[in-house]
Structure 1
Amino acid sequence: ESPQDSAITRDINRTFPAHDYFKDTGGDGQDSLYKICKAYSVYDEEIGYCQGQSFLAAVLLLHMPEEQAFSVLVKIMFDYGLRELFKQNFEDLHCKFYQLERLMQEYIPDLYNHFLDISLEAHMYASQWFLTLFTAKFPLYMVFHIIDLLLCETSKDDLLLTDFEGALKFFRVQLPKRYRSEENAKKLMELACNMKISQKKLKKYEKEYHTMREQQAQQEDPIERFERENRRLQEANMRLEQENDDLAHELVTSKIALRKDLDNAEEKADALNKELLMTKQKLIDAEEEKRRLEEESAQLKEMCRRELDKAESEIKKNSSIIGDYKQICSQLSERLEKQQTANKVEIEKIRQKVDDCERCREFFNKEGRIKGVSSAQDVLDEDTDEEKETLKNQLREMELELAQTKLQLVEAECKIQDLEHHLGLALNEVQAAKKTWFNRTLSSIKTATGVQGKETC
């Protein structure tokens, strides 16, 4: 167990709260960050966990797995001397402040004198830079490259015009914003790399600082030293409280923004759910319409099939009647021809017998008619004419019946063609209804799917 467990848990919620990997409470990012900070607090019993280490550990986690991040953190703290800043009541950190002020005095003396005039000391704005390696405020792609030369170039002119409060605001707010642009950050890193500061000079300043501290300790009254130390600690406490307030404000602001984004996402989700329900209802209605059209199509097909069967039956019946009529006419014609032939043969026989008989020739003339009995012959002729007229009338009636049958056949064929035309139209309507339903359903599904993606992206 780590004695700083509560402090670690509190700082984790304040570490990059707007970053996707660390914004979720209890998420993978915060869980890995908690493990690394707790592991280091157990590993380094002398220092343990100090406020600000979570930012450095979070930056490492964004580039490597947990095990490697922990190893690199230990390497930075021990081999690169970062843990020395936290030892002996931050004595080495104050040495860094002194080196920074001496560099400012050498390279930018006008800004150094301005800070003296407004009583702005290095520990008031640079403590977080050294303790977190610039990870707490500056963009992530700059955190391992920025050095003390941030006070050069354009920042210098701005700072010379500020008072105490304005200078602090510049270091805490304006300066990090200025270098969020990658182009400005690259220019700053190029400037930092081009400006050489030797280790010899830093060692000299370090020695000056320790000598100055020893002289102050020898000359200063213990009570005054304790009072000064107390004031320094109070100032550090106020600074840390201010930083804590800033981090808390940033956390609250981030949570409010996240809550707003979450509310917007929930509203969009509700809208998408409503649209999905509407789409489902449209799909159900379309399916009902499809079933109704299919039923109507089936009924129409059945009706057309019955009418077609009926028409075919009538055609077959009419064809049968026409065939029977033709057969009867043919039989009657054959019978008439046979009867006429038989009558002619019989007449010829009788005429031949009459010609052979001398007595009969007295009663019959050359045309075969009875002499003096013309009235009887006229009667016989009239009977024969009536029989012919009867046959003619029967023939005309049969021809009329045949004409009527042909007319019924033509009407049946026209009706069949009309039914086939209606059937084709009905099939086209069914097909068009199916296509319309399918296109409308597909369009609704595509619309719903398109809106959800865009909203997910």
Structure 2
Amino acid sequence: MRTAKDLEDENNGLRTEYDQVKEMCRREVLRLESEGSRSQGIISNYKEICSDLSYRLEKQQDSFKAQRTRIAGVVSHCEQCSTALAEFTEQVNGSPSKKLSSMEDGCGFKMIELMDKLEESEQRIRQLELSLAQTKLELVEAQCRNQDLSHQMNASISGDNDSSRHAAWLKKTISSIRDVGTSLKQPTHERSNSSVSVDKY
């Protein structure tokens, strides 16, 4: 037959185990909160980078459109420029290289310079688009990691609540043990009268 001392020793062990689990849950929640704050900081940085890249991309696109409109206006009023542009386009598309017919008077050369600048602007726009797409991808990945951390934290908190319910059970059990110990110290006829209250537990 188990004595009150045996029950008390067992429940002391359970209390120690509960305290260890509770401390482990506390440390885990603190770790997840720290990682969550760090993840939020990373997400904020990515959002700021996305905003900056979007602004720069929009400015570059506006500048590119303005340059293209200006060049189109020049070409439409100059026959030599139109010829130079046609020959330049053939070379860019991989047609056999040929000497531009209007290079001698400088008009064709100026046209080529304008087209080169336009092409450089277009390349910068492509690079910005790629950078923006990559940053948005990293932002989504960071948000997914943050969501996973939130799930882990909720699971840890739920586990801590389970431990709290376990603690309530421990308190009730220890109280019962104390009642048993008290009844064992009482005379025999008094213990028989209190057995009903002990049996409740």
Fold shared per TM-score above 0.5: yes
Task: Give the alignment's TM-score, normalised by structure 2.
Answer: 0.66
C-alpha distance after superposition, 1:173-228 (max 9, x if no partner): xxxxxxxxxxxxxxxxxxxxxxxxxxxxxxxxxxxxxxxxxxxxxxxxxxxxxxxx
Aligned twin of 2:147: 410
Bigger drift between 319-328 and 368-377 goes to: 368-377
Residues 348 and 291 of structure 1, relative CA distance in 2, 3 Å threshold: same
Separation (CA, whole Å) in 2 of partners of 1:322 and 1:355:
47
Per-residue CA deviation, residues 272-313 of structure 1 (Å, 9 max, x unaligned), is: xxxxxx99x72x445444443333333222211111111111
CA change 1:450–1:386 in 2 (3 A) is farther
- Identify if the C-alpha distance between structure 1 residues 364 and 439 changes in structure 2 by more than 3 Å, giving closer, same or farther: same
Q: Does 1:398 align with 2:113?
A: no
Alpha-carbon distance change, 343 to 327 in structure 1, aligned in 2, over 3 angstroms:
same
Q: How much does 1:427 deviate? A: 1.9
Tell me, yes or no, if structure 1 residue 331 matches structure 2 residue 48. no
Could you say which residue in structure 2 is the equivalent of 1:425?
162
C-alpha distance in 2 between matches for 1:290 and 1:385: 75
> In 2, distance between residues paired with 1:448 and 1:442?
10
Pick the structure with more helix per residue: 2
Equivalent residue in structure 2 for 1:300, among 4, 7, 21: 21
Distance change in 2, residues 1:436/1:404 (3 Å): same
Quick one: distance in 1 between partners of 2:186 and 2:69? 105
CA separation of 1:371 and 1:308: change in aligned 2, threshold 3 A: same
Per the alignment, residue 177 of structure 2 pairs with: 440
Render the CA deviation track for 1:120-148: whole Å, top value 9, x for unaligned.
xxxxxxxxxxxxxxxxxxxxxxxxxxxxx
Identity over aligned pairs, percent: 26
TM-score (norm 1): 0.32
- Cα distance in 2 for residues equivalent to 1:408 and 1:450: 65
> 1:396 and 1:347, CA in 2 relative to 1: closer, same or farther beyond 3 A?
closer
SS class of match (1:370):
helix
Query: Of residues 349, 360, 374 in structure 1, which corresponds to 2:89?
Result: 374
Q: Do 1:318 and 1:405's aligned partners in 2 also have CA atoms closer than 8 Å?
A: yes
Structure 1 residue 334 displacement after superposition: 0.4
Q: Which one has a bigger Cα radius of gyration?
A: 1
Matched-pair contact (CA < 8 Å) for 1:286–1:441 = no
Residue 362 of structure 1 pairs with residue 79 of structure 2: yes
What's the RMSD between the two structures over aligned residues? 3.6
Match of 1:252 in 2: none
Tell me the equivalent position of 2:62. 341
Contact 2:25–2:156 (Cα < 8 Å) also in 1: yes
Once the two structures are TM-superposed, the CA of residue 419 in structure 1 deviates from its matched residue by 0.9
Tell me the CA shift for residue 378 of structure 1.
Answer: 4.5
* CA drift at 1:450: 5.8
- Going from structure 1 to structure 2, the CA distance change for 1:393 and 1:342 (only over 3 Å counts) comes to closer
Q: Cα offset for 1:326? A: 0.8
Q: Distance in 2 between matches of 1:288 and 1:436?
A: 12
Assess, with a 3 A threshold, how the Cα gap between structure 1 residues 317 and 369 changes in structure 2: closer, same or farther. Answer: farther
Answer yes or no: is the 8 Å Cα contact 1:304–1:423 preserved in 2. yes
Judge conservation of contact 2:60–2:121 (CA < 8 Å) in 1. no
Partners of 1:387 and 1:335 in 2: CA distance: 10
Work out the CA distance in 2 between the residues paired with 1:409 and 1:320: 10
Contact 1:364 1:370 in 2 (8 A): yes
Supply the distance in 1 between the matched residues of 2:64 and 2:119 (Cα, whole angstroms): 17
Contact in 2 for aligned 1:369/1:377 (Cα 8 Å) = no
Q: 1:348 to 1:420 in 2, by over 3 A?
A: same
1:39 corresponds to which residue? none
Deviation by residue 1:308-366 (Cα, 9 ceiling, x = unmatched): 111111111111111111110100010111122233334444555x269x6xx12334x
Does structure 2 retain, via aligned residues, the 8 Å contact 1:300–1:426?
yes
Instruction: Classify the secondary structure of the residue corresponding to 1:300.
Output: helix
Shift of 1:445: 2.2
Describe the superposition over 1:55-113 as per-residue Cα deviations: whole angstroms up to 9, x where unpaired. xxxxxxxxxxxxxxxxxxxxxxxxxxxxxxxxxxxxxxxxxxxxxxxxxxxxxxxxxxx
